[in-house]
Amino acid sequence: MMFIEVAVNIPSDKTFTYAIPESLKTSVVPGKRVLIPFGKKRITGYVLGETSVTHRDDVKEIVDILDSEPLFHNEDLKFYRWLSRYYHYPLGKTLHEILPGGIHLKSNTWVSLVTETSEGMDYRPSSSQQRILDVLNRSCGILPLSILRKQLGKKDLGRDISALQKMGMIALEERMAKPGVTLKKEKIIALSHEPPEDARMTKKQRALIEFLRLHGPSPISTLRRTFTNIPSTIIALEQRRMVTVSEKEVYRGHGQRAIIKEGDRQIILNEDQDSALKEITRGLDGNTFFPCLLHGVTGSGKTEVYLSAIRECLARGGGAICLVPEIALTPQLMTRFNARFPNEEIAILHSGITKSSRYDQWRRIRSGETRVVIGARSAIFAPVKNLKLIIVDEEHDTSYKQEERMRYNARDVAIMKAQLHRATVILGSATPAIHTYYNTIKGKYSYLTLPRRTEDRPLPVVEIVDMKQEKKVEDRESPLIFSRMLREAIRDTIKKGQQVLLFLNRRGFHTFMVCQRCGYVFTCLNCAVSLTYHAGRGIIKCHYCDFSIKTPSECPSCHGDRIRSYGVGTERLEEEVRRLFPDVRVARMDSDTTSKKGAYERIIDALRRREIDVLVGTQMITKGHDFPDITLVGVISADTSLNIPDFRASERTFQLLTQVAGRGGRGKAPGRVIIQTFNPDHYALIKAKSHDYLGFYGNEINLRRGMAYPPFSRIVNLHVSSSSKSRGMEGIEKTKLIIREESYDAIREGKIEIVGPAEAPIHKLKGKYRWQLLIKGKDSRILHRLVRNILEKAHTTGLDIKADIDPLNFM
């Protein structure tokens, strides 16, 4: 007897042993999915490997094999195991998260009425039991249990169901659910033997035979394009054994087409690009782990370096993954990839493509037929064969962080994956994450730089407007949105027939208090993050350590009394633009206006065709895309990102401002950028104004060192939620106690610090109360051990706890 170790999608790290029946023995290999009996159900499991004889005698046999070929290699499994351990996410769930979904099989429980009721039954069903019978009666006597639950609006039917079952009035059975993804197969028609010269055939049959003789075995879809009434012709020929019909699997691609042909223009790298590429090529040749930061100002031609690096990688027989921060950018990038690699099959993986296509592409990648993968964060999991190169474009971008289920950061995962595969990894950015740049200084990553814009276009001129100087002259009720300078600049730009971009931070919903006289912003003395205003309770509060005070009516700095909360949304901004400039064509781009398919592209196209004068938008407008006629960029409030309750607020602001500013002046006309703020002296703004990353880094790294924030420590953010406020508070106190007990020595020696618990910035979401608890420490091994223990004990506190390891942001 042979046994296998199987992981299943359950919230536990436990794996299970199953036996393989003789008939399936040869086709069970690691990386395939199997259908297994699990409790009363049948579910999908992942084969991890063979195991030696088990000492248990109740081992069950697997039911079936669900994949014709394995979905991952053995070295991929090593990587998956690392992911599972590092992010404290069970292996079975990790595999479920990573592998293309849809062909998972699971049985469902069905409930049916038993029609032949035995005579002389003397007990009657209760009213709730009777309702179950009524619903079944109305539905032809049979329903899946899940639907029955829904129809009755009740979660727990267990007791009634088993009572009815005992009475013999209903029966339960397990039925397999239909998988969401199937293999697509097509009929292939082939000539079996030459018909004799004198064989009697219709004209059409003869033509078809002639076609097959010329083209060889052909799919039925091809024949349909040439002949009419194909099925009956084929049946006739098949009966006479002149043709054979077989089935072959068809590959479904990503269905994205290149939009614009780039043409065969000769690509000549400039000096900086060329020396960066030389370093990367050395890395590729070295066959060792080679991480590097490609630090290039906006518009310096990083994509050209990526493309050349991929070409070198392919020339060396390797495969490559290229991650981009925004799904909407993939068609644009695809065009350039197709133009450069016309003979390469390129896969696109992100959440927007169909399950079937994802499944097909995945298998092509694993088999090595597809060597280049582009995609959003989840593309990092693609099982690329002989992986030699990973590119993370805009590596500092927060979209690489997944905020649910497995809370990973694709940039960090890319580093780990490259290490396992001894590959080269390029982290590209104009504004590298502080942590990434710190690693180049420590010598962990190589540093490659593109300090100039292509064609030596100047960087745009950045001006900062002090909003404290602006008086609300017009309407006292409406919020102060535009400074005089920005208003005039918009008017001038439109008069010249050029375009305007107005940017507002999406995360602007954290209301903060600012003194409109001196610009003072309330920050926590313990944590150096902004205090958040809670209008309902009239308090300001720290979301790290829970410090809170009543909102003061007087400014502690200038003793003025104009302390106001600040916040305006994109919709309001659009309204204001329409009110001030009634003849101007305005469009808005944010998650609301782009949720429909194709909406994003429509706005971009309208902008390109110059049907929009002013585009109002969030982060979405800051990425990619060259618009030569955008000459003015306005940042409505730098303060909204400066005051998010996160120790990375300054870093995020500097990155955003640089990114937004980089949108201006891409064409011949020079760009102008206007930033409005109540804090014109903040170093993040001053350094963004002078395009001075290193200056910003110098300031920021000193602050981080002083507060012992990353990179000088590691942080774990425990997100705790509960549907009951009091039980949640009790549970989180108990959790803190557990941490204190478990790491008594580490805390005493200063190796671990607990901050909080505090209410989460969004205190209540989907009916659940939320808190956060920060654990700071230098030794990642101690931290990980601690988190593991907390998560294991989570069930004793009855809490829903999720751990964010080195979180990018704290939403």
Q: Please report, as ranges, the residues that interact with Zn ion according to CB under 5 A.
A: 515, 517-518, 520, 524, 526-527, 542, 544-545, 547, 555, 557-558, 560
Q: Which residue number, 406 or 542, has a Cβ lying nearer to Zn ion?
A: 542
As measured in angstroms, the least distance from the Cβ of 533 to Zn ion is 15
As measured in angstroms, the least distance from the Cβ of 490 to Zn ion is 29
Other beta carbons within 10 angstroms of residue 180's beta carbon come to 13
Q: Is 454 left (phi over 0), alpha (psi -120 to 50) or beta?
A: beta
Q: Which residue number, 204 or 468, has a Cβ lying nearer to Zn ion?
A: 468
The answer for residues whose C-beta is within 8 angstroms of residue 177's C-beta and 6 or more apart is: 105, 106, 107, 108
Buried b (16+ CB within 10 A) or exposed e, 655-686: bbbbbbbbbbbbeebebbbbbbbbbbebbbbb
Q: Which residue number, 560 or 670, has a Cβ lying nearer to Zn ion?
A: 560
CA distance 772 to 763: 10
Distances in whole angstroms, Cα of residue 782 to Cα of each of 84, 747, 748, 805: 17, 11, 14, 13
β-pairing, 548-550 with 539-541? antiparallel
As measured in angstroms, the least distance from the Cβ of 704 to Zn ion is 16
Q: Which residue number, 526 or 724, has a Cβ lying nearer to Zn ion?
A: 526
As measured in angstroms, the least distance from the Cβ of 732 to Zn ion is 16
Q: Which residue number, 493 or 772, has a Cβ lying nearer to Zn ion?
A: 772
CA distance 243 to 236: 9
CA distance 650 to 657: 11
Q: Which residue number, 232 or 553, has a Cβ lying nearer to Zn ion?
A: 553
β-pairing, 243-249 with 185-191? antiparallel
Q: Quick one: which of 314, 394, 416, 289 has its CA closest to 624?
A: 394
Distances in whole angstroms, Cα of residue 379 to Cα of each of 221, 228, 254: 32, 43, 13
- Contact assessment for residue 667 and residue 533, using Cβ atoms and an 8 Å cutoff: no
Q: What is the DSSP letter of 537?
A: T
As measured in angstroms, the least distance from the Cβ of 756 to Zn ion is 8
As measured in angstroms, the least distance from the Cβ of 766 to Zn ion is 26
Question: Tokens for 239?
Answer: 């009966």
Distances in whole angstroms, Cα of residue 399 to Cα of each of 224, 407, 554: 45, 12, 39
As measured in angstroms, the least distance from the Cβ of 800 to Zn ion is 24
As measured in angstroms, the least distance from the Cβ of 398 to Zn ion is 22
CA distance 480 to 457: 34
As measured in angstroms, the least distance from the Cβ of 518 to Zn ion is 3
Residue 105's Cα: distance from chain center in Å? 25
Q: Which residue number, 311 or 564, has a Cβ lying nearer to Zn ion?
A: 564
As measured in angstroms, the least distance from the Cβ of 592 to Zn ion is 33
What distance separates the 2 farthest-apart alpha carbons in the chain? 109
Please tell me the chain's helix, strand, coil percentages from 3-state DSSP, rounded to the nearest 5: 35, 25, 40
Q: Which residue number, 459 or 774, has a Cβ lying nearer to Zn ion?
A: 774
SS3 state of residue 327: helix
As measured in angstroms, the least distance from the Cβ of 525 to Zn ion is 7
Q: Which residue number, 82 or 547, has a Cβ lying nearer to Zn ion?
A: 547
Q: Which residue number, 121 or 558, has a Cβ lying nearer to Zn ion?
A: 558
CA distance 41 to 36: 8
CA distance 777 to 807: 14
Q: Which residue number, 42 or 541, has a Cβ lying nearer to Zn ion?
A: 541
Query: Using alpha carbons only, what angle is made at residue 371 by residues 368 and 377, rounded to the nearest 5 degrees?
Result: 115
Q: Which residue number, 460 or 645, has a Cβ lying nearer to Zn ion?
A: 645
As measured in angstroms, the least distance from the Cβ of 772 to Zn ion is 12
As measured in angstroms, the least distance from the Cβ of 512 to Zn ion is 14
Q: Which residue number, 18 or 544, has a Cβ lying nearer to Zn ion?
A: 544
The answer for residues whose C-beta is within 8 angstroms of residue 621's C-beta and 6 or more apart is: 501, 503, 589, 615, 660, 663
As measured in angstroms, the least distance from the Cβ of 528 to Zn ion is 8
- Contact assessment for residue 638 and residue 676, using Cβ atoms and an 8 Å cutoff: yes
CA distance 717 to 529: 15
Q: Which residue number, 128 or 526, has a Cβ lying nearer to Zn ion?
A: 526
